[in-house]
Amino acid sequence: MEKIRGFEVAKGFENEGINLPERKTKYSAGYDIEAAEDCIVPAFKPGQAPTFIKTGIKAYMPEDEYLMLCNRSSNPKKKGLVMANGVGIIDSDYYENVDNDGHIMFTYYNVKSEDIEIKKGECIGQGIFLKFNTVDNDNAQNERTGGFGSTRK
């Protein structure tokens, strides 16, 4: 079978019992993504960095697609979790990069007054594969040289 788009377990997580994302209903746009390990998202304090929640997965897709990472609709109300970057974008060339193998993480702030515990296997967000377009005079020629935050280096 030809690989077109999908999920794989990222390097370093092969023996960690990682579940690959799944859609829960036939008309769901998003694939539910789980936490790879237990973690704590601390109650928000001004100036603190967001918490990176590991998923243990990576995603492959055609060059003209990206994976959009979105919060679960219930997370803000039930857990106080809001994504630090609003929406995450996983580019096709992030897959198997030299820095982190394309490992996907969600970045969250906890707006509640108490710390929130996330358990391994708990659904923390969703991923939606989408196509993108470029403008007529696009001339992007650079190639990714690393992982998270590497496109501006």
Reported as a single tens digit per residue, the pLDDT across 49-96 is 999 999 999 999 999 999 999 999 999 999 999 999 999 999 999 999
Reported as a single tens digit per residue, the pLDDT across 4-47 is 999 999 999 999 999 999 999 999 999 999 999 999 999 999 99
pLDDT for res 145 = 74
Whole-angstrom distance, CA of residue 152 vs CA of residue 82: 25
pLDDT for res 142 = 75
Question: Between β-strands 65-70 and 116-118, what pairing exists: parallel, antiparallel or unpaired?
Answer: unpaired
CB–CB of 74/26 below 8 Å? no
Whole-angstrom distance, CA of residue 143 vs CA of residue 94: 10
CATH number assigned to the domain comprising residue 98: 2.70.40.10
| Number of domains into which the chain is organized | 1
Both tokens of 66, joined, read 């990206």
CB–CB of 80/112 below 8 Å? yes
Domain membership of residue 26 (yes or no) is yes
Domain membership of residue 144 (yes or no) is no
- Rounded to 5 degrees, φ, ψ at 78 are -75, -40
pLDDT for res 152 = 53
Whole-angstrom distance, CA of residue 113 vs CA of residue 37: 23
Whole-angstrom distance, CA of residue 43 vs CA of residue 132: 36
Reported as a single tens digit per residue, the pLDDT across 88-134 is 999 999 999 999 999 999 999 999 999 999 999 999 999 999 999 99
Domain membership of residue 145 (yes or no) is no
Give the residue numbers spanning the domain of 120: 6-131
Query: Is a pLDDT exceeding 60 seen at residue 148?
Result: no
Mapping DSSP to helix (H, G, I), strand (E, B) and coil, where does residue 94 land? helix
